[in-house]
Amino acid sequence: MKRNNENLSLGDVLKEFVEKNNLEKGLDKVHVRDAWNQQMGPAIQKYTTAIKLQGSTLYVQLSSSVLREELSYGKEKIVKMLNEELGKVLIEKLVLR
């Protein structure tokens, strides 16, 4: 870590620590789950049984086939919304199960 510059913010230090220790993938998975719940709201969160980010594909398991059908029409919009919430393009494909 950079010790020579005392003006580093805590955020910068944490970011550097995360990158050096390859923790970013794990944090991305947590952020994706948070983004899903934030963007989709409590009604959909209630039917969400599992969320898994594998590579750039987000797998979301839903307990309602009706909801799964409804959401399947807006997959591209959902992916765009989630990536905007995350501030980077993490998700390229959404698979609803």
3-state secondary structure of 50: strand
Average pLDDT over residues 39-60: 95
Q: Report yes or no on 1 lying in a domain.
A: no
- Region at 68 (left for phi over 0; alpha for psi -120 to 50; beta for the rest): alpha
pLDDT grade for 4, boundaries at 50, 70 and 90: low
Q: Lay out the sheet containing 57-62: strands in order across.
A: 48-54, 57-62, 93-96
In the chain, % of residues over pLDDT 70: 92
Number of domains, the chain? 1
What pLDDT score was predicted for residue 16? 84
In the chain, % of residues over pLDDT 90: 69
Q: Report yes or no on 5 lying in a domain.
A: no
Q: Report yes or no on 55 lying in a domain.
A: yes
CB atoms within 10 A of CB 30: 10
Average pLDDT over residues 44-56: 95
Q: Report yes or no on 77 lying in a domain.
A: yes
Domain that holds residue 43: 10-96
Q: Which amino acid is at 15?
A: K
Q: What's the CATH code of the domain at 24?
A: 3.30.300
